[in-house]
Every structure is written in structure tokens, then in C-alpha cells.
Amino acid sequence: MVRPLWGRVLPVCLLAVLLLAPVVHADSIWACVDQVNVGSYTDYLNNYLYTHLGDNRNENQPDHTAARNNIYTFFSTYGLDTSIQSGTYSGRAYNNVVGVHYGTTRPDDIYIIGAHYDSVSNPGADDNASGVAGVLEAARVLSQYPSDATIVFIAFDREEDGLIGSYGYAGLHASDNILGMLCLDMIAYNPAGATHDYARVYNNAASDPLADQLQSALETYGGLSVNRPGNISASDHYPFQVRGFQAVLMIEYSVFENPYYHKVTDSVDTVGYIDYVFGTNMTRGAVALLADEAGTRTPEPTTTALMVSALVALGARVRGRRRVRITLLKFPGS
């Protein structure tokens, strides 16, 4: 009996359609957000950023250099184009750690996520190892997948001395097409008895569109409620605003109530102080924003499964007539 032509052609057609089918972007955002892990966030904060009692990440201290080196190693391990950006601003030296994940279709369109890694002669667990841990976790997750636009991950130096590192970077990159800058500063203090559901977003009027997107991301993907009190100039988003870029600050709701702010007790060893779940939820919102704005693309598991089914069906059609080697395509995360 002659086998119907459609029976032979259908698997090939199905495979071709699936290969050419676009990835649903909303699913890509969730795929990224779902990989943000409280264990990973906790590991960065507790073990690599010198946040224990007696540690000191102030400029020129051994812990400052060691933390910087660990950040550099993580960025490099995640496949980012990693460098130490050394320079001076207002006569003061800085050493930022920069990791670049280049865009595939819009590489000149740039989104930045940053946090400062220096402290005020203390462990700086919340201020601001908590933000650096969020940047590291965002880098771990987002570096796995292609994005349309470029994402730059930065650990800024000497924020506590007058935003030195961020002023230096913003000035050197004033001509770049920076479409958005997200600053993470103090994202893991949540007072005893509070639930994990409040954050603040600070921005100027020109940055309202980016702040609106961040608020939506924190609410939808981080499960947080967002307070928008206006703008503030005391963190690393501000030098980018001065240069005319959209820039926002994401910070804990109770920042002005933190009893350990700039004290030696700003440490992971202070009992009941650091809320790792809250910091992770803040990071989920940041990852969602970047995945959305930069156009991060991940394969849909259902699509991958259908492709495998089509390949199996195709193999069944040719089995017995000739030997065919079928190589299953491997996708990140599949």
C-alpha cells in the first residue's frame, strides 16, 4: 500500500513551524523570574561579600578589595564581558566592577542594573551588600539567555563617599544610548512582624515611564506593594538622572527606620535583621523589569516538547527504509 503523502510530510511541516515560531515574551519573563533563588541570594550575601561582624568594606580595606574580586569572578563565570573600570571623579579614585551582556539585535540599546559594594567602615550587610547580591543574582539568571538589548551589570565603588563610582561611570558613558538605569540600594531590611510586601521606588518626573514599569514588575513578579514618594539624590541612580537618562532607585520601605544603618551591627550576624526572602522578592522584580525591557528570550518548555515529538515522529516515518541520525536540539534551560 502506498503511504499517504500527508502522513510523511506532516512531521516535517510541524517541526519547521515550531522552529520558526516566536517565543512568547511573557513566558520568558516568568521563566527568568522563577529562577531567582533565595538560596543563591543568601549565599552571595553571607559568603562572598564580607558581611559578618568585624568585616569592613570601606575604601582601601582588605575586605573591600576581596569583595570586589569576588564580584569580578562571578561576573566572569557567568560569561559577561567583565572589567574593572578604574578612574577618578572630583579627584577621588574609584574601581567599579562592570559586566556586559551584549544584545543580539539592539546591542546599542543599553539597560543598567547597579549597586554599590563599599560600606561605611562596617560589614554593610544591608547597605549595600543586599543590593549587590541582587545584582549578582540578576546576572546569574539573565546571562543564561539572549536579549535583544544590552544589559550592563555594575558594582559601583565609593557611593558612600559621594556617589564617586556612579558619577564617574555616568560621565564616561554620557553618549551611550542608556534607556534605563535601575539602582538597588538597601533591599533586605524588613522590621520584625512586617510582611514581605512593601518597597519604595524613587525617581524624577523624567523617569516616570521606567518607574511605572518597575512598579508593575515588583507587584506582578515580586508580590510587593510599591510606595512612590518622589525622588532622592542619595544613591547611584542620581548621576544618571543628572545626565538625562531615565534612572530609578529600588529600596526597602523601612529604610529610614533601620536601627543598624551605618553601624557595625549592619551585619548578617545580627539576629533577625536580614530578611532574605524580602531581598529575593525585590530581586525578582528587578529581573522581571530587565527581562521585559531588554527583550530576554527563553524557549517555551511546551515548544521544546513538541519539537521532540515531531522529531520522533519523523524518525518513525523513515525507520526501516534507511538509517537516519537524529540529533535533538539542546536549548538553555530545557
User: Does the structure show a pLDDT above 60 at 49?
Assistant: yes
307 pLDDT tier (thresholds 50, 70, 90): very low
Return mean pLDDT, the chain.
87
User: Does the structure show a pLDDT above 80 at 148?
Assistant: yes
Q: What is the mean pLDDT of residues 126-146?
A: 98
- What's the pLDDT tens digit per position in 171-223? 999 999 999 999 999 999 999 777 778 999 999 999 999 999 999 999 999 99
Candidate from 7-21, 111-125, 132-146, 235-249 with smallest mean pLDDT: 7-21
Q: For residue 193, what pLDDT is reported? A: 72
User: Does the structure show a pLDDT above 90 at 14?
Assistant: no
- What's the pLDDT tens digit per position in 85-127? 999 999 999 999 999 999 999 999 999 999 999 999 999 999 9
The pTM is what? 0.84
Q: For residue 258, what pLDDT is reported? A: 96
Q: For residue 25, what pLDDT is reported? A: 66
Q: What is the mean pLDDT of residues 125-141?
A: 98
- Between 163 and 24, name the one with better pLDDT: 163
Percent of the chain with pLDDT over 90: 79
Q: For residue 299, what pLDDT is reported? A: 77
Q: What is the mean pLDDT of residues 48-72?
A: 98
User: Does the structure show a pLDDT above 50 at 332?
Assistant: no
- What's the pLDDT tens digit per position in 295-305? 999 976 544 44
Q: How far is CA 162 from the centre of its chain?
A: 24
At the top level of CATH, the class of 25-294 is: alpha beta
Percent of the chain with pLDDT over 70: 82
Domain with CATH 3.40.630.10 in the chain: 25-294
Residue pair 269/53 in contact by the 8 Å Cβ criterion = yes
Which among 266, 231, 271 is positioned nearest to 251, based on CA atoms? 231
